[in-house]
Chain A
Amino acid sequence: MAAGSLWLVFKPGQLELRFNLQTIKRGLLCICVLLSYALLFESLGFVISTALGAFALGLLFSGRVLPCAISGVLMGVVLYSLFDLLLDVPLPLGLFEAFVES
């Protein structure tokens, strides 16, 4: 295996950089957003984390600020009501937990 990978590394003429700096930067940012979305999912709750995540992702995909913010908040609320209230998929409430008496 080691010999094989060495051969791959030194294989002549196959190496070309397919990435440019801009894409790498955006890709890394996107991974960061996804990771923090995943990390904050439980503690912030679905509605807030989705609103934030959708907003950030929307910006990354070259959306304008205001529409992204609106769509983010809408997505958080609509998806929460769709899944949790309508379809019985339990989602974390997070920060809202204090307001809801169970």
Chain B
Amino acid sequence: METLNFLMQGFDVATRPTNLLMALFGAFVGTVVGMLPGLGPINGVALLLPLAFALGLPPETALILLAAVYLGCEYGGRISAILLNVPGCAASVMTSLDGNPLARQGKAGIALSLSAMSSFVGSTIATCGVILFAPLLAKWAVAFGPAEYFVMMIFAIACLGGMVGDKPVKTLMAALIGLGLATVGVDSTTGVYRFTFGSVSLSDGIQFIIVVIGFFSVSEVLLMLEKTHSGQKAVKTGGRLLFNFKEFCFSFATMVRSSLAGFVIGVLPGAGATIASAMTYMSEKRLAGASGKFGEGDLRGLAAPEAANNASACGSLIPMLTLGVPGSGTTAVMIGALTLYNITPGPLLFEQQPDVVWGLIASLLIGNVILLAMNIPLVGVFSKMLSVPNWVLVPAITAISMVGVYAVHSTTFDLLLMVGLGVFGYILRKLDFPLSAIILGFVLGELMEDNLRRALSISAGELGILWSSPISLTLWVLTALMLGMPGLRWWRARRAARAVNA
């Protein structure tokens, strides 16, 4: 009951004209950004963050805008995946497997509308999950002290390594690079200058926006130089534009199953939409068995990843809102946005800033309806935008990035730093380091350090406080398990290989 009251309060916030307008704007921008190949939710959020800040939007409005962009990206990725066979963002790779064959069979309209519907089902189910579980988790997490937080963040980083799978060492290294970047600047407790090399511009640390824009937008520009895919023709949307009732029923069970799975995966810190969509696609394929035409245009193969990636996007808001630990790269950026407003995400957020939290949750529901309403009739408009040539797109991305970074401090140094970080990010990407792990590390770095410092000052420097409570002990054990997982998987794979050879 209490939750319902809060939810109504949230709807009050979310239906204010500015907030509705921002949700609409964010949904639109998100869809476009998600659709353009190469630009994902992180880029979208990163590009709009400085704008939101510079506009002086209140925190709840800014968060609503960013969340709408996030959801919109998950919607938009499917358009280019289906029509061009080029996934608009990493999470829609799986969508193209069955979506593009469908489009080639002349069923592009059905594919687009059905995938929009599954996105809608996915995010709605996951938002209900957020409404049910987030307050509970927040209540429970209030018991966390600084020591527990510190261990929690170590667990989050370990999760990254354990979940991202094929390259655990690189992921951990990337997270450590992020942690390292976070140490630059004045030490908040002692006032010592760290790694500033005598530069005044570095004294208050590397600004979050610069890191995000440098790593994602600038390195993306460099990456796009290599694959100038020009002259790609979108498949014409012809025939029936809407799915019929039979097709909906056929894939409904898949949508629900994948949404639930996607939600759970999204809640786990570190594992994001990409993993969720891949996992649900695989399991649906197995469930369908021989009866499925997966890979040749099965509707279920289209519904599963779309429902899952939206569900996990919403699910990843749970650890962000309740624990202050990001569930994905994009939520890491959103945490950064909150800290720009001097709001520390965490369990107390539910008590201190109910407007922000519940406004955000209510706006997810509203944004979802907006996106569904926008996506089915406007598909034609969006697919026209796919033909924007790179020589317009790239300069525009660059100029907006420059504006975003310049808006923070108005110094040339920041712009140069952004380009430098962009080149660094490009090299790391070429070496297959996952950049979202760096962002996660960077965001967690500061929080982690603060909590460690606080814990140690409580215990007067005694390290024992870090494993004295049952909560932190459990978290340590879970961390160890997560770190062991890649090793276990490797060992299993090797054993399986040996069994085959023998």
Question: Which A residues lie at the B interface, using CB under 8 A?
Answer: 18, 23, 26-27, 30-31, 34-35, 37-39, 41-42, 46, 50, 53-55, 57-63, 67-68, 71-72, 75-76, 79, 83, 87-92
Contact = CB atoms under 8 A, between A and B. Distances in A.
B417 to A, nearest CB: 9
B402 A30 contact: no
Contacts of A87: 51, 54-55
B390 interface: yes
Contacts of B416: 35, 38-39
A71 B392 contact: yes
B73 interface: no
Interface of B: 50-51, 54-56, 218, 221-222, 224-226, 228, 230, 389-392, 394-396, 398-400, 402-403, 406-407, 410, 412, 415-416, 418-419, 422-423, 426, 430
Given A18-B430, A35-B419, A63-B389, A27 B222 contact: yes
B406 A91 contact: yes
B403 A89 contact: yes
Contacts of B395: 53-55, 57-58, 71-72, 75
A59 to B, nearest CB: 8
Q: Is the interface of A mostly helix, strand, loop or mixed?
A: helix
B412 to A, nearest CB: 5
Given A61-B391, A62-B228, A38 B399 contact: no
Given A61-B228, A63-B391, A75 B410 contact: no
A50 B81 CA distance: 32
A42 B398 contact: no
A46 B410 CA distance: 12
A72 B395 CA distance: 8
Given A23-B226, A38-B416, A30 B221 contact: yes
Contacts of A54: 395-396, 398-399
8 contacts: A38-B415, A41-B406, A53-B398, A55-B395, A59-B391, A71-B392, A87-B54, A88-B55
